[in-house]
Amino acid sequence: MSFHTRTTCRACDSRHLNLILSLGRLPLANSFLRDPAEFATEVSYPLNLGLCPACHLLQLLDVVSPDMMFTHYLYLSAMSDTIAEHNRLLAAELVERLSLTADSLVAEVGSNDGSLLRCFHPYGARTVGIEPATNLATMARSRGVDTVNAFLDSATAAEIVASRGRASLVVANNVLAHVEDTRAFLTACRELLAPDGMIVIESPYVRNLVTGLQYDTIYHEHQCYFSAQALVRLCDAVGLSIRRIELVPVHGGSFRLSAQPAAAARPEHAASAFELLQAERDAGFDRRAVYDDFARQVEESRRSLRALLERVRADGHSVAAYGAAAKGNTLLNYCDIDTGLVECIVDRNPLKIGLWSPGMHLPVRDVSVLVEEQPDYVLLLAWNFAPEIIAQQAAYRRRGGKFIIPIPTPTVV
């Protein structure tokens, strides 16, 4: 089936999922179109966010087949200088913390173009990527990164262990939120590990989503938004002990979870997990009211952004958008921002230039358009990289260009 609606929680199997926010029917956020002839046959799906009252996992109620979203993928992690530096620092930290050597195997799930794994090569560690997108797996191999073109499951884990040995480190950055069966995924990660190995996972953190009104990060690929309570519940279920949880600023605010196979029948978790869990309770994240207020503020933010763009256009100003990112397509479609308000999207990613955005059908053009055509305003869809982008576009700003940062409250810079 290409699409279905969940009736049970991904973490605890509760059958009482409460609808928090409906974004309507949206196309897949990375389903860019190659020709205007495709506009009429474009498919959209419901996008509804629900909350489990038992374990407080915020999750999508609507599920699209991963084959439709991930076997060909247009996001390149190498495009951002911010992510490149993040990867370099993360690799250096993990090599030191885990004492990785030339005998160590580092496995990355969702390895994309191999950018993170390449950061381990100077330290001599062996690496293997697990990447379901055929185009990205091919790209990574061309860059010298051993890559298995598959989704991670128990069979894939067994194949890698048989051919390459067990991993000292399994990294899964921005992957856990993308899988429907979180317990099966974590189990497969554990099966890849050596007995003393470590799983390190980064994923968007629910408090940043809610307090930062990051509703544009809600799209069909992102199936979960994790709290510490939900993470503890999941790790208990699959026999993983949380060694640390820390918060990191990347992608608008994420958690970094480090976990190992539990030594006992009941996993024991580090104090940092329970400290984060208590902080969530103190802030009301174990009560529905916080999420209902989030939904109300999302609608207010939507109205404010549309009003700003309509005013700018009524005054005769031109507007482009920066960043053909998945989150941008949620924002464009939910806020109904078409070519009447924004003329085009500019991007550095060569895989997206020349395409049209899903739903709103904005043409994607090269970033050089900003200086060559000097639109009066740029709607910053990739707001999580705002400092990097604004610094890169110094020439555009010197000539009077302004940026609109849409999240959480629309602001002109």
97/105 Cα distance (integer angstroms): 15
Distances (CA, A) of 145 to 18, 111, 137, 194: 43, 10, 9, 21
User: What integer pLDDT is reported at residue 190 of this predicted model?
Assistant: 97
The 10s digit of each residue's pLDDT in 225-276 is 999 999 999 999 999 999 999 999 998 899 999 999 998 878 999 999 999 9
For helices 182-192 and 228-238, give the axis angle rounded to 10 degrees.
60
**Average predicted confidence (pLDDT) for the chain:** 95
Residue owning tokens 């990205």: 136
Residue 22, C-beta contacts closer than 8 angstroms, at least 6 positions apart: 46, 47, 48, 49
For 261, the token pair is 């196979």
pLDDT in tens, the chain (413 residues): 588 999 999 988 999 999 999 999 999 999 999 999 999 999 999 999 999 999 999 999 999 998 888 888 777 776 788 899 999 999 999 999 999 999 999 999 999 999 999 999 999 999 999 999 999 999 999 999 999 999 999 999 999 999 999 999 999 999 999 999 999 999 999 999 999 999 999 999 999 999 999 999 999 999 999 999 999 999 999 999 999 999 999 988 999 999 999 988 789 999 999 999 999 999 999 999 999 999 999 999 999 999 999 999 999 999 999 999 999 999 999 999 999 999 999 999 998 999 999 999 999 999 999 999 999 999 999 999 999 999 999 999 999 999 999 999 999 99
Specify the pairing of strand 254-261 against strand 58-60: unpaired
Please state the pTM of the whole predicted model. 0.91
Is the preceding omega at residue 387 within 30 degrees of 0, hence cis?
Answer: no
Spatial contact of 223 and 179, defined as CB atoms under 8 Å apart: yes
List the Cα angle 53/59/60 in 5-degree steps.
130
For 321, the token pair is 């958008």
The 10s digit of each residue's pLDDT in 282-323 is 999 999 999 999 999 999 999 999 999 999 999 999 999 999
What the chain holds in terms of domains, given with CATH numbers, is 289-412 (3.40.50.720)
